[in-house]
Amino acid sequence: MTKPQIWVAAFLGLFILLFILSRITKEETTTNSPVNSTVPQTDMSSQNISAKELMSKLSCTTCHGTELQGTKMGPSLHNVSEYWGRDKLISYLRNPSSFSDTERFQKYEEQFPGMIMPPFSNIDVKDLGKIADYLLELK
Ligand code: HEC
């Protein structure tokens, strides 16, 4: 082969290589995209996450304890089924202050001075339902 022929061959080889590479990367992005598009959906209502994981993610455990046994910052969440039904508990989590006028909550105020249960109204209701189901089973 003459020198120009070698150059032509080298360029051709390079182009073929680039073409193959671009095909490969294209295939990767198309096979990846269905996976990517499902991520925001699962994020919106954390379907694959357990109630326990949700509660540590939302830092419920910071105030109520890692086993929800209660701390200096919040009461125990065991046996709350004595006081709550599912729907009422969900409304409570969304807006705790609207339930604070009972005797039980006035006691909590004395027991945990300066601490308030924050509202979780921006959390997906499905997630709050999952938490409520879990708490109502917690003896
Ligand atoms: C900043 C601390 C704090 C965080 C975070 C917190 N709580 Fe509370 N929680 C309290 C306090 C304090 C009370 C007592 C009532 C009050 O002061 O409003 C309470 C009360 C409650 C009650 C009512 C208990 C009863 O006897 O009826 C439930 C249920 C509850 N919290 C669940 C949760 C859940 C679920 C989360 C997370 C999504 C959470 N809390 C996050 C501090 C907290």
- CB 132: neighbour CB atoms within 10 A? 24
Asked if the model's pLDDT at residue 107 lies above 50, the reply is: yes
Closest CA to 65 of 54, 51, 77: 77
What residue ranges line ligand 1, CB within 6 angstroms? 55, 58-60, 62-64, 73-75, 77, 80, 83, 93, 96, 100, 105, 108-109, 112, 115-118, 120, 131, 135
pLDDT tens sequence across 42-85: 455 667 899 999 999 999 999 999 999 999 999 999 999 999 99
132's tokens: 């409520």
Tell me the Cα Rg of the chain. 28
- Write down the pLDDT at residue 39: 46
Look up tokens 């969304």; give the residue. Answer: 94
| Higher pLDDT, residue 18 or 122 | 122
| Higher pLDDT, residue 69 or 15 | 69
Q: Cβ distance 77 to 135 under 8 Å?
A: yes
Q: Cβ distance 78 to 138 under 8 Å?
A: yes
* Domains of the chain and any CATH numbers: 51-137 (1.10.760)
Q: What is the mean pLDDT of residues 20-40?
A: 59
